[in-house]
Chain A
């Protein structure tokens, strides 16, 4: 098989890939932007209303320094907030998965916190920490924390009762049952939740930047909008979407690496 494929040229292989099911994501994305471009050109929509992708890309190149600098700012606030969410989400998730009393006690409060739209918290965070990076990090943290807690706790709660019986009958301690069975079994839930959490963290930091910051992609887009630089607003939007996709993809890879057994055992 390997000799047959190696004889084919790089171009032939790429061409072959483009016809396969996995290439659908590529084709649909390309079609989306082509359609967008066509609609803008054919119907003469003014650039300040909806710029075509070609104009957005041109503007992006023109302002690449601003986009890169602000992207880095947004990425690191997102990463910091997400990191906090992973640490505290794991701790709280294990705690409420461990003790039914803690679960009962904390759940209503947590649902309450989660129901509050995080944008409503930004003014309070600004009041406490001033305009800038800290409110962005905290918003990212608050918004991405909950799915991690819930997933870790659910993962721990779904341990097979018979497995638990086997271990309890052996006299295994609760901590051993957690370390050997509960936590490894909860890992697919945990890594699955990271995909959701990282995108939410991104949303959180951008929200905060849009409301109260002096840097970051959210802030840049707000400034561009104020200056009526509509293509730059869209360039910021595309940069956001691109970064979101990349981060999501990274966590899909991490998930498959860490808990590949969960995917294989379903086959």
Chain B
């Protein structure tokens, strides 16, 4: 059985008729250690999908299996990072990174006993994302990119089997974003956790993942599965190779048709034409 195994999943907020349905019949399998990306028009239920994987929401129909067990509540084997790096401003960067260990039932007691050891692990992780020696700084002393790096560390500190990323690089400038792609790629190659990345950025999806799933407009369905098998580690230059460009182009076409099905897309396609 696959690491993530989702079968005929349906979910609605409040009810299951057309206006309330958010996800409609999702089937998805992700193997352990794989890197999957989900792209789709905004409002297609991608974030809802992430909540289902983390156990914050329970599906009304269908099943979500994680590591052979049904997801019916929050479990600590998931790490999450969002577009907004949301760090606690009264804690130093290292203390922010260590927060999951302090509250997760599995590590809570151990953390109090072996604080020094965990602090070292936190510092090593910070160094791995290029924040060596920044652990004592407060979040307001860090730039947006640095905060996002720290937020990645927080998502990984408890060594989760599954990393959920909800547009984690969306608020960063292009150069910082590209740097962080490589940071994430390196971490993933080293530690081999499973990643599900939700993003609007097709280049980002193709650059980072092994498989890109395209979701339709609400109610969300998976309409395309595209395998990306370029060599690793991918470099920023590889984005300009013809296979890469054509993969992005192909996905763009799918997104366009997904939006066209949506009634309100006439303005959207105008915007796309002008951009």
- Interface set of A (CB-CB < 8 Å, partner B): 160, 162-163, 165-173, 176-177, 180-181, 184-185, 187, 259, 261-262, 264-265, 267
Given A162-B82, A170-B78, A173-B105, 20 more A-B residue pairs with CB atoms under 8 Å apart are: A162-B84, A163-B86, A165-B56, A165-B80, A166-B100, A166-B155, A167-B99, A169-B54, A169-B56, A170-B76, A170-B104, A172-B104, A176-B103, A176-B108, A181-B88, A184-B90, A187-B90, A261-B138, A261-B140, A267-B140
- B119: interface (CB < 8 Å): no
Q: Are B103 and A167 in contact (CB under 8 A)?
A: yes
- B102: interface (CB < 8 Å): yes
Q: Are A170 and B88 in contact (CB under 8 A)?
A: no
| Minimum distance in angstroms from B115 CB to a CB of chain A | 15
Picked from A162, A187, A264, the residue with its CB within 8 Å of the CB of B138 is A264
Q: Are B74 and A180 in contact (CB under 8 A)?
A: no
| A184–B154 alpha-carbon span in the complex (Å) | 19
Residues of chain A within 8 A of B76, CB atoms compared: 169-171
Residues of chain B within 8 A of A160, CB atoms compared: 84, 86
Say which size band chain B's interface belongs to.
20 to 34
Q: Are B89 and A170 in contact (CB under 8 A)?
A: no
| Minimum distance in angstroms from B122 CB to a CB of chain A | 16
- B51: interface (CB < 8 Å): yes
Residues of chain A within 8 A of B102, CB atoms compared: 176, 180
Picked from A171, A184, A259, A262, the residue with its CB within 8 Å of the CB of B74 is A171
Residues of chain A within 8 A of B88, CB atoms compared: 163, 181, 184-185
| Minimum distance in angstroms from A84 CB to a CB of chain B | 28
| Minimum distance in angstroms from A172 CB to a CB of chain B | 4
Residues of chain A within 8 A of B78, CB atoms compared: 169-170
Q: Can you pick out 20 interface pairs between chain A and chain B where the beta carbons lie within 8 Å of each other?
A: A165-B56, A165-B80, A166-B80, A166-B155, A168-B56, A169-B56, A170-B76, A170-B104, A172-B103, A176-B102, A176-B103, A180-B99, A180-B102, A181-B88, A185-B90, A261-B90, A261-B140, A262-B89, A265-B89, A267-B140
- B145: interface (CB < 8 Å): no
The closest CB in chain B to the CB of A161 belongs to B86
Q: Are B86 and A162 in contact (CB under 8 A)?
A: yes
- With contacts A165-B56, A166-B80, A169-B78 known, is A177 near B90, CB below 8 A? no
Residues of chain A within 8 A of B74, CB atoms compared: 168-171
Q: Are A265 and B139 in contact (CB under 8 A)?
A: yes
Q: Are B100 and A265 in contact (CB under 8 A)?
A: no
- B158: interface (CB < 8 Å): yes
| A162–B88 alpha-carbon span in the complex (Å) | 12
The B69-88 residues at the A interface (CB cut-off 8 A) are 73-76, 78, 80, 82, 84, 86, 88
| A165–B56 alpha-carbon span in the complex (Å) | 7
The B84-113 residues at the A interface (CB cut-off 8 A) are 84, 86, 88-90, 99-100, 102-106, 108
The B229-246 residues at the A interface (CB cut-off 8 A) are none
| Minimum distance in angstroms from B94 CB to a CB of chain A | 15
| A187–B139 alpha-carbon span in the complex (Å) | 18
| A206–B4 alpha-carbon span in the complex (Å) | 67
Residues of chain B within 8 A of A262, CB atoms compared: 89-90
The closest CB in chain B to the CB of A167 belongs to B103
Residues of chain B within 8 A of A169, CB atoms compared: 54-56, 74-76, 78, 80
Q: Are B140 and A264 in contact (CB under 8 A)?
A: yes
- With contacts A165-B56, A176-B103, A180-B102 known, is A170 near B158, CB below 8 A? yes
| Minimum distance in angstroms from A39 CB to a CB of chain B | 48
Residues of chain A within 8 A of B103, CB atoms compared: 167, 170, 172-173, 176-177, 180
List the 8 closest A-B pairs by CB distance, nearest first. Answer: A172-B103, A265-B140, A169-B54, A265-B89, A170-B104, A176-B103, A261-B90, A169-B74
Q: Are B105 and A171 in contact (CB under 8 A)?
A: yes
Most buried by B among A165, A170, A259: A170
Q: Are A170 and B56 in contact (CB under 8 A)?
A: no
The closest CB in chain B to the CB of A187 belongs to B90
| Minimum distance in angstroms from A171 CB to a CB of chain B | 5
| A180–B100 alpha-carbon span in the complex (Å) | 11
Residues of chain A within 8 A of B105, CB atoms compared: 171-173
| A34–B110 alpha-carbon span in the complex (Å) | 67
| A167–B96 alpha-carbon span in the complex (Å) | 12
| A259–B89 alpha-carbon span in the complex (Å) | 10
- With contacts A166-B80, A184-B90 known, is A171 near B75, CB below 8 A? yes
| Minimum distance in angstroms from A155 CB to a CB of chain B | 13
| A181–B99 alpha-carbon span in the complex (Å) | 10
Residues of chain A within 8 A of B86, CB atoms compared: 160, 162-163, 166
